[in-house]
A and B are shown apart, each in its own frame.
Chain A
Amino acid sequence: MPKVRPRLIVALCTLSLPLALICLCVNGEANAQRSAIDTYAITNARIVTVSGPVVERGTVVVRNGLIAAAGANVSAPPDARVIDGAGMTVYPGLIDSYTNLALPEPAAGPSPAGGGPGAFLLQQAQARPSPGGPNSTQPVGLQPEVMVEDSIRSTGNDIESSRNIGITTALSAPRSGIWMGQSALINLSGQTPQQMIVRSPVAMHVSFTPLRGSYPGSLMGVFAQLRQMMLDAQRYRDSIQIYERNPRGIRRPETDRSLAALVPVIEGRMPVIMLANSEREISRALDLAAEFKLRLIVAGGREADRVADRLAKQNVPVLLSLNLPRRTTAAMPEADPEPMRTLRDRVAAQQTAAKLVKAGVRFAFQSGSLANITDLMGNANRTIENGLTPADAVRAFTIWPAEIFGVANQLGSIEAGKIANLTVTRGDLFDRNSRVTHVFIDGRPVDLRPTTPAPGAGERPSGRGGLSGTWTLNVNLGQGDRGATLTLQQEGDRVTGSIAGVLGSGEISNASVSASDEVRFTASLNIEGQTKEATFTGTVSANEIRGTVAVVGLAPGSFTATRVRPN
């Protein structure tokens, strides 16, 4: 880690310092690269090329960041570092087609000091930090000019976790907003953000999430504002064309970066990725795309199979989330039975992928902000159990996303000349007992962190003796502290527990703890008479956890938990 920092500074220098210094830095960078080993051969391995038939026993040669050769009759060059791939399978590097990887964590809202009635409204009225560009004509959340490229960073646990399960490339999409901004396709390795980027911008992103406290504050308003801004962008483009034809005698149109960013979208030059999961959300996205002749890509797509005919007809691909719905809360005896529709939908979501293949709808898999990225392959496996062929599952992680993002010449298969992103496993990729042994990104092996504790190690050291115990929990959602008792049990990776107090009681779910001591879990809380799902994210230090609470529809809150009794 400390090795990286000077490099970052170097990268910053190249952006801002005079020419002489730039030359110096670039030379230094080039020398560093030249001196490193850049030729590798994985021999005796099974090769899933994706573009052609599977090679049962062959060699993949990587040179200078690219795939130099692959096949049964390829031999390792003398200067190559050789990895004996006997018993291993080489796949094209896996692509996660929708993530927030490499983006900074969202800023939590300020916790109001006082609480009491009105504090919540007051908190909402306060300005939130702007991730948007300077001099935007639009409020935060309606700034299509925002580019992920400008804010990604090359380090982070999230990147490492994804690499550990074999992801080499990800679409990094803006976190929030209606016009969310423009995404970048990044390789999950690189000294600088610039080195990571494979393609930017890839697409404009849209979610149908209302703003809070200002227009548009409802789903209806979201659609009205999307329409209005696209109409404004049309007029902006036309005005500038008319003006540039003959500026004399015409008042010059004002420049507008937000509207300018929408011009490629309304002209169909840049695809639009809309977040839509349910049948009706996808239908709304399709309607809007048809109305403005947009190049639509649906992200989420949980019920995409129910609109498959329209998706196929309008040639709209789907970035299908593998965050498969599960019952997340314990059934409480006094609770109403869950609606049939909910029960049916959870089962049906596992079948969506197979149905899309049958209907001829193009799709790619994405992790869909899974609470725990290690669930990804297991969930892919569920879609296989529900009718998707394993070969198509591999395609949905490789060549299909590459095609959808227009980078099939660079990524998505093991072919000479493509970027040397490779995922090597012992055992089949979707087998629960398989293990990712090597990951190559841009022709270089990346360090993989062991994902399972050494045998006999007991509790993870990261948990400092584990999370197990009874904790006093204080939650502040803007209306003063509210207490509860949190009971946690940790066995290896597995964290379970329950919560009890004025906020309601029940099992926690989605619980996990990372190597960097980050704890996450969700719980159903009783907030103002409504049961709401709250996501806790915090950092453990010895006997204390501090962090933030996210509840849909509320401003972010904070929590602290203090261990009163170890188990």
Chain B
Amino acid sequence: MKKFLLLFVVLVAGSAVHAQPNETLIKNATVLTVTRGTLTNTDVLIRNGKIAGVGKNLTASANAQVIDATGKFVMPGIIDAHSHSMLDTINEGTLAVTSMVRTEDVLNPTDVDLYRGLAGGVTTLNLLHGSANPIGGLNSVVKIKYGRPASEFLFPGAMPGIKFALGENVKRSSSPNTPGVTRRYPNTRMGVEEVIRDAFTRARDYKRTWDEYRAASAKDKNLIPPRRDLQLEPLVEILEGRRYVHAHCYIASEILMLINLADEFGFKIKTFQHVLEGYKVAKEIAAHGAGASIFADSWGYKIEAYDAIPYNAAIMTRAGVVVSMNSDSDERARRLNIEAAKAMHWGDLTEEQALKLITLNPAIQLGIQERVGSIEVGKDADLAIWNAHPFSVYSRVDTTFVDGAVYFDRAQDLARRPELAKERATLEQAEPNKPPARGAQSPNTPRRRPTTRTDDEIDELEERP
């Protein structure tokens, strides 16, 4: 009994990492502001979760936490514009149009990948549905408040979004042909276009039906209302410009197809995801006003990824496209800084342009650029202190702040390890942990998600029936 009480104390102490002073002063750092250049020997003052000051010789109140960051770098929290961390399920692949499903319903705030992301300086994620179908589910934009309930992760004011997908994953070119089993439509790129056109045609009709009902029911109380359709409601929001489309795509022809289709229905594609052939149609993407969220140098992992080049970021940036670098991988999420740095090597982007790929640009793509993405007074205090320039392969994160609170601290993490080892030893001796015996499985058996594959194709494979 006593033993268990002790355990409980340890558990509580472990989760109390972010009991924080409401003021923190980071002294004498090199600050990568993203929007106002690189400032040396500069202080950053955090108050009540916001950046309250950026400058030299700032002062804070007496009870503020002061961090000497001499020789260190402060950078805005990295924003990963394409992630599937934290999701208990990624694809609803049974239908071609699943706009009724919401990633928000399946958030797992205890996913350890979140903590690993924080350790890589990541503070915001765009959690997307997988790429199993032309119109996928609704996204969630979250701040990584690891240790807090899922509801507190949701980024207030972020634009609602949705996942679309084109190409090989959608037409299931990697699915086996099984005699007697009908493959899910569509099976060609033509079919993909038709599915999306059909869905928006239905959404337009749906909107009209409701508009007519609302007008008529004012006069006639005996009208039976139309059915509410959770599949079509998000598509109406897209048509009305109230929801961002994040479209998984690879090749130039399908990118142009979707631009034309969106123009036909009068909506905008907010971002093209992966978009490895974006460099071929950069002007068209820019003209549509879409952004692009890409990998630095992944290619050749399937037919539609053969024409990729590492200059993609640079070419699209110069064409006026808002470009971001995403991870689409729990593993790559921890080193997005290096992915951005590659864009300086391939195509000679400036340091500021490269930094924007993982900070301000993804913020713009998610509609949160007023809140995060750069170090400016008034913005959310989502930032990380690095021990070296984040574009160096030798850099690592010392401390990560979200809304001014510390959610990762390397020194604290290291200090806790002996204590955790002790806890483990005690737990292993606890009766329920002694093998083997009768009983149920733990509810939290961790999900095994492959971390080494690129592209969300893997997510489709994982969940396919």
Interface residues of A (CB under 8 A from B): 117-118, 121-122, 124-125, 210, 212-221, 223-225, 227-228, 231-232, 235, 238-239, 242-243, 245-246, 249-250, 253, 277-281, 283-284, 302-303, 321, 323-331, 337-351, 368, 370-372, 375, 382, 385-387, 507, 509-510, 530, 533
Identify the closest chain B residue to A251 (Cβ). Answer: B224
Cβ of A342 and Cβ of B91 under 8 Å apart? no
Cβ of B92 and Cβ of A221 under 8 Å apart? yes
* B390 is an interface residue with CB less than 8 A from chain A: no
Cβ of B105 and Cβ of A220 under 8 Å apart? yes
Interface positions of B from 268 to 302, Cβ below 8 Å from A: none
Interface positions of B from 334 to 384, Cβ below 8 Å from A: none
Given contacts A118-B176, A212-B465, A327-B433, contact A342 B445 (CB under 8 A): yes
Cβ of B432 and Cβ of A223 under 8 Å apart? no
A214's contact among B94, B151, B229, by CB below 8 Å, is which?
Answer: B94
Cβ of B181 and Cβ of A371 under 8 Å apart? no
Identify the closest chain A residue to B229 (Cβ). Answer: A228
* B388 is an interface residue with CB less than 8 A from chain A: no
Identify the closest chain B residue to A346 (Cβ). Answer: B432
Cβ of A219 and Cβ of B106 under 8 Å apart? yes
CA distance A348 to B106 in the complex (A): 23
Identify the closest chain B residue to A246 (Cβ). Answer: B222
CA distance A331 to B436 in the complex (A): 8
CA distance A330 to B435 in the complex (A): 5
Stretch at the interface among B21-29, B68-76, B95-103, B204-212: B95-103
Which residues of chain B are near A235, meaning CB under 8 Å? 224-225, 227-228
CA distance A387 to B4 in the complex (A): 11
Identify the closest chain A residue to B463 (Cβ). Answer: A218
* B88 is an interface residue with CB less than 8 A from chain A: yes
Name 9 interchain pairs, CB-CB below 8 A, sorted by A: A215-B92, A219-B105, A221-B92, A221-B98, A221-B100, A223-B105, A235-B228, A279-B110, A343-B428
Cβ of A328 and Cβ of B438 under 8 Å apart? yes
- How many residue pairs at the A-B interface have CB separations less than 8 Å? 214
Identify the closest chain B residue to A216 (Cβ). Answer: B92
> In whole Å, how far is B10's beta carbon from the nearest beta carbon of chain A?
9
Cβ of B181 and Cβ of A228 under 8 Å apart? no
Cβ of A220 and Cβ of B432 under 8 Å apart? no
> In whole Å, how far is B196's beta carbon from the nearest beta carbon of chain A?
18
Cβ of A328 and Cβ of B93 under 8 Å apart? no
Q: What's the dominant secondary structure at chain B's contact region? A: loop
Which residues of chain B are near A341, meaning CB under 8 Å? 110, 442, 444, 446
Given contacts A220-B89, A220-B137, A510-B438, contact A215 B432 (CB under 8 A): no
Which residues of chain A are near B441, meaning CB under 8 Å? 325, 328, 533
B446's contact among A210, A330, A339, A382, by CB below 8 Å, is which?
Answer: A339
Interface residues of B (CB under 8 A from A): 1, 4, 7-8, 11, 88-95, 98, 100-103, 105-110, 129, 137, 149-151, 176, 178-181, 222-225, 227-230, 420, 423-424, 427-428, 430-446, 448, 463, 465
B230's contact among A231, A344, A530, by CB below 8 Å, is which?
Answer: A231
Cβ of A284 and Cβ of B181 under 8 Å apart? no
Cβ of B420 and Cβ of A375 under 8 Å apart? no
Cβ of A283 and Cβ of B150 under 8 Å apart? yes
Which residues of chain A are near B103, meaning CB under 8 Å? 220
Which residues of chain B are near A349, meaning CB under 8 Å? 432
Which residues of chain A are near B108, meaning CB under 8 Å? 280
Which residues of chain B are near A219, meaning CB under 8 Å? 88-89, 105-106
Cβ of A340 and Cβ of B424 under 8 Å apart? yes
CA distance A210 to B464 in the complex (A): 12
B438's contact among A213, A303, A371, by CB below 8 Å, is which?
Answer: A371
Which residues of chain B are near A326, meaning CB under 8 Å? 432-433, 437-440
Cβ of B465 and Cβ of A346 under 8 Å apart? no
> In whole Å, how far is A230's beta carbon from the nearest beta carbon of chain B?
10
Given contacts A219-B105, A278-B444, A328-B435, contact A117 B176 (CB under 8 A): yes
Which residues of chain A are near B94, meaning CB under 8 Å? 213-218, 221
Which residues of chain A are near B11, meaning CB under 8 Å? 344, 348
B443's contact among A117, A223, A227, A278, by CB below 8 Å, is which?
Answer: A278
B106's contact among A220, A246, A337, by CB below 8 Å, is which?
Answer: A220
CA distance A220 to B176 in the complex (A): 25
Cβ of A345 and Cβ of B95 under 8 Å apart? no
Which residues of chain A are near B438, meaning CB under 8 Å? 326, 328, 370-372, 375, 509-510
CA distance A51 to B89 in the complex (A): 46
Cβ of A239 and Cβ of B224 under 8 Å apart? yes
CA distance A330 to B77 in the complex (A): 43
A253's contact among B110, B149, B224, by CB below 8 Å, is which?
Answer: B224
CA distance A246 to B224 in the complex (A): 12
Which residues of chain A are near B465, meaning CB under 8 Å? 124, 212-213, 217
Cβ of B435 and Cβ of A343 under 8 Å apart? no
CA distance A162 to B225 in the complex (A): 50
> In whole Å, how far is B93's beta carbon from the nearest beta carbon of chain A?
7
> In whole Å, how far is A285's beta carbon from the nearest beta carbon of chain B?
11
Cβ of A325 and Cβ of B424 under 8 Å apart? no
Cβ of A325 and Cβ of B439 under 8 Å apart? yes
Cβ of A347 and Cβ of B432 under 8 Å apart? yes
Starting from the known contacts A216-B101, A224-B92, 20 additional A-B residue pairs (CB-CB under 8 Å) come to A118-B176, A118-B178, A214-B94, A215-B92, A217-B94, A221-B100, A228-B229, A235-B225, A235-B228, A238-B225, A242-B222, A245-B222, A326-B432, A326-B433, A327-B432, A327-B439, A343-B433, A349-B432, A386-B1, A530-B448
Which residues of chain B are near A337, meaning CB under 8 Å? 424
Cβ of B436 and Cβ of A330 under 8 Å apart? yes
> In whole Å, how far is B453's beta carbon from the nearest beta carbon of chain A?
14
Query: Among A223, A232, A250, which residue has the most Cβ atoms of chain B within 10 A?
Result: A223
